[in-house]
Amino acid sequence: MLRFDDLQLFVRAADLGSLSAAARGMDMSAAVASAALKRIEQQLGARLLARSTRSLRLTAEGEGFVEYARAALSNLDEGRRLLAGSQDQVSGILQLSAPSDFGRNLLLPWLDEFQREHPGLTVRLLLGDRIADLFRQPVDIALRYGEPEDSSLVALPIAPQNRRVLCAAPSYLARQGEPRQLEQLAQHNCLLFMLGSRVHDHWSFHDGKREVSLTVSGDRFSDDADVVRLWAVAGAGIAYKSWLDVAPDVLAGRLKVLIPELQCERAPLNLLCAHRAHLSKPVNLLREMLVSRCASSSSQFPTFSGEGH
C-alpha cells in the first residue's frame, strides 16, 4: 500500500525539481527521502523520476502518475477538513436511553431546549428502567441511577449527590396520617417499584448514627418508575423516590417529603457509554447541560446541599 508521506514527497519533488529541496521542506534527511522514493517506485513497478547530479525530471510514467497522486492527496485533505468540521458542529444523530420517570418529566423539556439551541441535531430517545445493553442496543449513551454494575462501561457523574426521599401526597396524609418514625411505615401502603422479577421493598436509611433498614409492603407494584410517582401524586400511598424525579411535585405541593431528618439511600445519576469514542461534542454539551440542571434541582432541597448527605 502506498504511504501518504511517500506520495507527498514525490509530488513535492516533481513540483520543485529537486529531491533534496522536497526533503528539506518535509523535515527529513536526503537518505530518508531517497529511500521513500525508491519504495514508491518499487511498489508501482515503474521509475517516476529521472535523476542526475544536477537535475531531476519526471519520466513518462511519472508524468502519467503525478496527477493521480495530486488528486489523491487533495481528496485526503478535503476528507480531513470535512471530518474536522463535523467534529466542531453539533449535528447528526444523538441516541440515548434514560429512566422512564426522569426521561418523561425532566429530560424531555431539557432536550427540547437543547435541540432549539442546536437545530442540526436529531435525537433518538429510548425510555425504560431496564439497564440498556450499550454493546447491543442502538444507543450511544445511557442515563442511569446507581453505580454501574458493569465495570467495563465509562461512567461520568451527572448528579453524584442525588438521594431518594420518602414522599406522599397531602390527600393520602389527610386520610391515613403522616408517619413520624420509620416503624410507622408498617401501617402504611407503600408503592413499590420492580425491576424484572425483583421487587424493591427493602428500604434503607441513616438516622445520623446508624443505618436502618426495613421491609415494606403495599398493594401496588410497577416496573415503570413514572407509574409509581403518578400513584403517589394521586394519593395511593407512600413512595421512596429519587429526589430528581419528585422535586417538581414537592416544590408544587403535590407531594410532601416525610421524616426529612433521615438521610435516605444514594441514587447518583450517571451518564454511561461503552467507549470514550462515543463522547462526541453533542454528548459533552448535553452532559454539561444535565449537570447544571440537576445541580439546580438538587440545591432546592437542603438534604442535598453538603457532601455528608
pLDDT reading at 86 higher than 70? no
For residue 36, the domain's CATH number is: 1.10.10.10
pLDDT digits (tens, 9 = 90+) for 161-188: 999 999 999 999 999 999 999 999 999 9
pLDDT reading at 57 higher than 70? yes
- Domain-ending residue, one of 84, 115, 146: 84
144 forms beta bridges with: 270
- 155 and 170 in a single domain? The answer is no
- The residue among 178, 163, 207 whose CA lies nearest residue 301 is 163
- Contact, 255 vs 122, CB < 8 A? no
Cell of 181: 418514625
pLDDT reading at 134 higher than 70? no
Is 308 within the bounds of a domain? no
pLDDT reading at 84 higher than 60? no
For residue 240, the domain's CATH number is: 3.40.190.10
- Contact, 154 vs 273, CB < 8 A? yes
- The residue among 35, 45, 50, 46 whose CA lies nearest residue 5 is 35
CA atoms within 13 A on the CB side of 269: 30
Is 307 within the bounds of a domain? no
Q: How many domains does the chain have?
A: 3
Distance between CA atoms of residues 228 and 76, nearest Å: 55
Domain that holds residue 170: 164-264
